[in-house]
Amino acid sequence: MQSPSDHFLRAINTDFDRIIAMCKNWQDDNGDFSAVNMDTAVAICTLEATYKSSADTAAVETMILRLTEKEGPLLKSKGKASNATRIAVLTWRSLLNMSREFKYYWLRLILYMLLTLCIGTIFSGLGHSLSSAVTRVAAIFVFVSFTSLLSIAGVPVLMKEIKIYASEESNQHSGALAFLFGQLLSSIPFLFLISISSSLVFYFLIGLRDEFSLLMYFVLNFFMCLLVNEGLMLAVVSLWQNIFQSVLTLVTIHVVLMLAAGYFRIRSKLPGPVWTHPLSYIAFHTYSIQGLLENEYLGVNFAIGQVRSISGFQALHSAYDISPRSNAKWENVLTLSDPGKECQTLMHQSLAHENFGMLGFWLTPEE
């Protein structure tokens, strides 16, 4: 004898057809395999016909009709979250993740401090003589260029964030614009912390002018430089979707921008095609270094002998291309925002692409 559950399972499950065919010749006198006399398809049709002709079918249909006619309160759809809500949620979530995870910005803060200490101690004790001006230009160039290059350490973390975004976007929980603003806003406090801590160490180790307004400009300039660099990293990582290719691309870009920044050869004397236009105008290093030098040396005079003196602009004219205008340093800070906007726009377009990257046609994203 079979239990009712075994009987119906054997009757309606087509997986038993092969077993039933093998067992047809093994029926014993007790009728253990009596169910094998009927094919599964025939059994299913028989059960359907029997159920439709039974009283249970009429009872179920009556119950369904009664429940359908009984009207209840209408369910109001709350719709989807607005872009502002998505940005706020993503910003808060990213802010919490960045504050809890050591590898996000805390490790970068330590690396920045170590690098700044190394640069500051190498260029310490310069003094404020005319001969120290050229050396201080080198110190500021090294500080801006190497700290920008060091930020590549954050590529694996950005890759993780973009993968999370890709998963959320596929489920329609997020969008490229919300992710872009959320990532940008959540990174600002940490970038400002890095900029003010690194600037304080570097500023006093190399002996820049001891004025609060000049120090605040230095911090603001370096913060804008880090913000532009963060946008560049986000754009490159979102394009490649691969750690190795992103790091290789970023290193190449930074090296080229450092060469075009006007330190190894003055900007006005760079070869016209490519190096002057467009590279020297694209390089955010150029505007950051120009602003920092104008902040330090405009309005300063160096005595030559007892009767003659030259301005800070004249002292640096042969070492770096700066402007003699008093508001030039603020123009450089404003100019730093343009490359950042371009990088963010590029990142938005690449994330909005259905393959989460403009290069997705040729490259498979890293798993």
Over residues 276-291, the pLDDT tens digits come to 888 888 889 999 999 9
Using alpha carbons, list the distances in angstroms from residue 318 to 228, 264, 285: 28, 12, 18
113: tokens are 């401090």
153: tokens are 């350490």
Element (H, E) at 96: helix 83-100
pLDDT at 46: 81
> Is the CB of residue 357 less than 8 Å from the CB of residue 241?
yes
Angle between helices 243-259 and 284-297 (to 10 degrees): 50
Where residue 277 falls (left for φ over 0; alpha for ψ -120 to 50; beta otherwise) is beta
Where residue 128 falls (left for φ over 0; alpha for ψ -120 to 50; beta otherwise) is alpha
pLDDT at 273: 84
Highest mean pLDDT among 28-42, 68-82, 304-318: 304-318
User: Which of residues 22 and 69 earns the better pLDDT score?
Assistant: 69
| Position 365 confidence tier, pLDDT thresholds 50, 70, 90 | very low
Distance CA 63, CA 60 (A): 5
**Mean pLDDT, the chain, whole residue set:** 82
Highest mean pLDDT among 39-48, 130-139, 210-219: 210-219
Distance CA 176, CA 162 (A): 10
pLDDT at 356: 43
Q: Give the residues across from 277 on adjacent strands.
A: 273
**What is the CA angle 278-259-276, rounded to 5?**
25
309: tokens are 């003196």
Over residues 144-197, the pLDDT tens digits come to 999 999 999 989 988 888 888 888 777 766 777 788 888 888 999 999 999 999
Least confident of 13-22, 59-68, 81-90: 13-22
Over residues 348-359, the pLDDT tens digits come to 455 555 444 434
